[in-house]
Structure 1
């Protein structure tokens, strides 16, 4: 009997048992086919070397079957069908020696013709059986909707790759040539490792073992890649695209196609070897070590036309290994090899390709750039759908369709700094991990979730981005009760006399957070106009506190500092050639750090009109780019332009009060040329709501006074354990003094500071405050005095 591998030996033993169960006198090819499909029963061996060999052959057969049909467990289904056809008992006959039939002997002889050193593997046996399967095996395969030819093709392709031969020419090759090719493949690991094995990673071999994939889509890019590789000259493609669009995945998908025997007329027998520049540079102590290693790799790759090098981040070869005073680097070593037929695939981002490779015309002309764009929403969802089985298996959860849709939509909305499909895959992967491990005390607290649904993905996005869950859920259709519903009451409890302004703010934000408007701009853009001290800035702070978790989430830009035209550079950075080029502008830096915030443009009327040109595109598209090309996302921010303009300077309070359904009118005042020149029509069209804050009335000021005093008195009682009460006369006096239509609430704060805080501070610093538990503020002809309340 021919020398056989560990897997073929175990398959033979199982075939003998099957023959005994079927009450047969000889081992037929059907029994042997069952044995080849039953290698999983032999994986319990404790011999590590035998287990490694067995698993490799088992995985190869399973990959072939799973690729040929859609059945979840094709090997089990085929085994059962064959047993029904040939019959059998539950237990094999003991002590009976089984022999091969003549047909089975013929299968071994045919399999040996493809093997190296006369050693027959499971794949060789399967190929020999499927060449002449017979009616029993054909019928069993037909039950799964496949034929023997459907399985034979990938089996032959697998053998052809191992032999280093192109599949269509396997049968026509001379036997000695086949033996030579097989020996060259199997003997590659003997002796000293080659440069390619030492510094490279064989993607084709990993694809054969099922370690890559699954993949979906990118047919256009794959076809372009194969076209360039099939050219006679300049056959070095470079996949160019932003980080996260799937450039490396396209190369791995090509390796899978080669492993499956596809495109064999162009890539048959080829193998893709990934070359790591980091591995080449590691432990290169002396000058010349890198050059020696790189030249060794390139010599081996150039000597074997079946090798295709793959270099991720190929722009790193420019400048690698260059020493001070030397002109040569790794790219200079590559150039002659690329010109003489070496095939190389690279990946790079657009900016890095233009900066490093595009700047070197001699290197650039040796590559053919293939643009890889970000997939659309539907393509990204299909890619996640293909990846879902592996994620479910890894996390032990079930991922619903709504979770895949949410992962794509939410990552597109709330993660503008990354690209599809990478950001959606990362979000779904994290959601699966959170579902499997919801808390640190799983034993006594929360049980692991069995499903990943929309809410799980929304919670994950909220945790990663810091966006409140209400905003995330609202973007997906308002499936949960939103925190925003309490904004109206929250603002009215803290702002006095501005009920109409609060209502308009609340209604606009309801529409924004409900996700009804499909527009790319910010959540909302407001213009707050009104006299000083009426609550414009305080409203912005309260919005940041309620919607984004704290008043520190407000980005405040004092626009009076941008009165000069040249101050635009402070917002987006200085242009090239000017001082400060390369430094982030204030606006871009703040939005990149806190994209979910309230941006207050205070004293907007004091800024130079040229400054607001920066905001035109920002209010329209929700994004802004600085002079270095760095983008800041403003789609989840609220912009407020605050101005202390009077009605005579262009705005009419009465127009808004009498016609609340219409926009605030703007009247140009020739006498005040600095009135609202910044509000050009282009900017006005991008503002969602023009909101006028009315001057505070006496009742509103009295309410603000009570709120201010309540806060101060509560703090006094907390820190010093004493109470202070104001008499009726003291309250009336403070209300009359602090009311100022011109200065608004700011006069109130000055009044409370002068008549309440100053005398209280004297009592506290002198130590007298602790002598009495209760104090009383009274009014007399000298003002307000604080006396013990006994």
Structure 2
């Protein structure tokens, strides 16, 4: 008794479950509650660990990287605690650089893999005799030549950077050896002094020389580390081999863990964000106010000016059916993630009953489906940077809005298992047909924008609670589509049909007269653009499918759609016309 010293470490949950239940065991320990350190404390801890990780990975870790690791992990990695998650960030970022120094850079590996894929495709196409295969082969060979030039340039840059790194790596090895010898000799001297043994003058002299050598090598490494900054203007914009862990490397690791783009924006991305309205208008015709509001929200997020405790943006899209509310969400997902399906879509008609509310955050303990989690919370946990579309929000039960209040105000939501899900990197869009009749009526009567807004505001206030409406950034009115806008949508729909035919080896030419006829037949001020799809499907796609099945169009052929006596006609395209059409389309795309 009194001779055994025991220190244990556990979590609060495990302490309550295993130790607190046993009073006899608990009273033999003195609980010491250790709270999570602050960001400032974490930075101090990381500075103490920095030499150990630099020595282990053989890279330099800048102080700005330590600060970024503490701040970014505290904000974006919500399910773990400091300093553990910040230390892991530093460790992974340093190990990535160390691996890149010893292996082929990622940029070269990606080009090599793409070149291998193209070579395989070219070998297979060389065995084909069709004209379409020869055209494909020519395109692939042109891309292969471009990839080979890019690969040669990257390899030349890599070899040049490796020559400069060889000296630094050898200096680092010398430094590690000098540090080991210094520590060993210093320990031996201290042991002799503690034992009362005399220490020779030669040992002190050697200790001094090792310390001097250690300092000189450290200064050389620091000078080499500063060299890239001085010669930045003469070197490539992006180095393949890096020796310093900066805040950019930390941001890349956080992005890989969470899917949230945090790395410094390249000039190309900045240019895209500045013209984001134009990119969205390539799919969404009209609705300038809605496109501008969504674009501004994304720009605020990527420039770092958004409120860190709220979603990127929260909107209610109001308007008649078929005017582009859902299409704008798809276009936004395509612009941000290069995939229109990269969004979380929930149809609120599935949450009309009170008991269905639990499906959003998960069933309570003891009920079926408790282990599965909620549809909304689980989806956002897996993809925290996304567009959340709540379609036809007016059909949801009123209790659903109580759940959404926390999301809109604080940017977080707790699921049935106690996990707090972060919504601060989501764009929340709710669509509704509330007030669509008023919008339609006022538009037909020639009313101005202010009259429409007053009518819509009255309809919203009658259906939604004030505390819910007050937490939404903007309520955006989508106006009925004009004939001119319907005509422009026809061009978009026809282009999609043409792309589908191109995938099967056919070309399509729809004349201006045929496009005008589609717009005239499909125009409906009440149902918006949806009738256009039915017209194209019934009047164009169905007859075209029959022509293809009858063999009227040879493989690799083309068809021209025209209109005669208010009826659509289908004529095969001559080979010369197909070639000219393909050339014009290629020039237009480029």
Same fold (TM over 0.5): yes
CA separation of 1:497 and 1:421: change in aligned 2, threshold 3 A: same
Q: Which residue of 2 aligns with 1:561?
A: 350
What are the residue-to-residue correspondences of 1:309-708 with 2, within 5 Å? 309=6, 345-438=7-100, 440-441=103-104, 445=158, 447=162, 448-468=241-261, 471-473=262-264, 481=270, 484-648=273-437, 658=449, 667-668=457-458, 679-708=464-493
The total of aligned residue pairs comes to 441
Aligned-residue Cα RMSD (Å) equals 3.2
Contact 1:526 1:691 (C-alpha < 8 Å) held by counterparts? yes
3-state SS of 1:526 partner: strand
Give the secondary structure class of the aligned counterpart of 1:690: strand
For 1:333, the equivalent position in structure 2 comes to none
Contact 1:532-1:744 within 8 A present in 2 as well: yes
How far is 1:596 from its partner?
1.5
Give, in angstroms, the shift of residue 718 of structure 1: 3.9
Q: TM-score, normalised by structure 1?
A: 0.52
* Residues 533-590 of structure 1: per-residue CA shift (max 9 Å, x gap): 1111121122222223423320111101101111111111222343433431111211
Matches for 1:155-174 after TM superposition, within 5 Å: none
Contact 1:553 1:594 in 2 (8 A): no
Corresponding residue for residue 271 of structure 1: none
Matched, 1:735 2:397: no
Q: Secondary structure at the match of 1:777?
A: strand
> Per-residue deviation at 1:728?
3.7
Whether the aligned pair in 1 keeps the contact of 2:258 and 2:383 (CA below 8 Å) is no
CA distance in 1 between partners of 2:511 and 2:339 (Å): 35
Q: Which one has a larger percent helix, Structure 1 or Structure 2?
A: 2
1:650·1:667 contact (CA, 8 Å) conserved in 2? no
Summarize the Cα distance change of 1:612–1:728 in structure 2 as closer, same or farther, 3 Å threshold. Answer: same
User: Cα deviation per residue 1:141-168 (whole Å; 9 max; x = unaligned)?
Assistant: xxxxxxxxxxxxxxxxxxxxxxxxxxxx
CA–CA separation in structure 2 for the residues paired with 1:717 and 1:519: 45
Deviation at 1:473, TM superposition (A): 3.7
Q: CA deviation at 1:729?
A: 3.0
Question: Are residues 663 and 595 of structure 1, via their aligned partners in 2, closer, same or farther at CA, if it must alter by over 3 Å?
Answer: farther
Distance 1:620 1:737, change over 3 A: same
Post-superposition shift, 1:496?
0.5
Larger radius of gyration: 1
Q: Secondary structure at the match of 2:554?
A: helix
Render the CA deviation track for 1:45-93: whole Å, top value 9, x for unaligned: xxxxxxxxxxxxxxxxxxxxxxxxxxxxxxxxxxxxxxxxxxxxxxxxx
Determine if contact 2:318/2:436 at 8 Å carries over to the other structure: no
Q: State the Cα distance separating 1:651 from its structure 2 match.
A: 11
Is the alpha carbon distance of 1:772 and 1:385 closer, same or farther for their aligned partners in structure 2, counting shifts above 3 Å?
closer
Deviations 1:502-536 (Å, cap 9, x if unpaired)?
11211222223322244312221111111111111
Gaps of 5+ in 1: 1-301, 310-344, 670-674
List runs of 5+ in structure 2 lacking aligned partners: 109-154, 163-240, 575-590
- How many Å apart are 1:749 and its aligned residue? 0.9
**What secondary structure is seen at the aligned counterpart in 2 of 1:695?**
coil
SS in 1 for 2:32: strand
Are 2:504 and 1:719 aligned?
yes
Match of 1:68 in 2: none
Task: State the TM-score, normalizing by the size of structure 2.
Answer: 0.68
Contact 2:362 2:374 in 1 (8 A): yes
User: Structure 2 vs 1, CA of residues 460 and 650 (structure 1 numbering), >3 Å: closer, same or farther?
Assistant: same
Q: 8 Å contact 1:398–1:452 — kept in the other structure?
A: yes
**2:542 equivalent to 1:758:** yes
Q: SS of 1:762's equivalent?
A: helix
Between the aligned partners of 1:403 and 1:772, the Cα distance in structure 2 is: 56
Q: Is the 8 A contact 1:702 1:735 kept in 2?
A: yes
User: What is the alpha-carbon distance in structure 1 between the residues aligned to residue 267 and residue 21 of structure 2?
Assistant: 50
Contact 1:473 1:479 in 2 (8 A): no
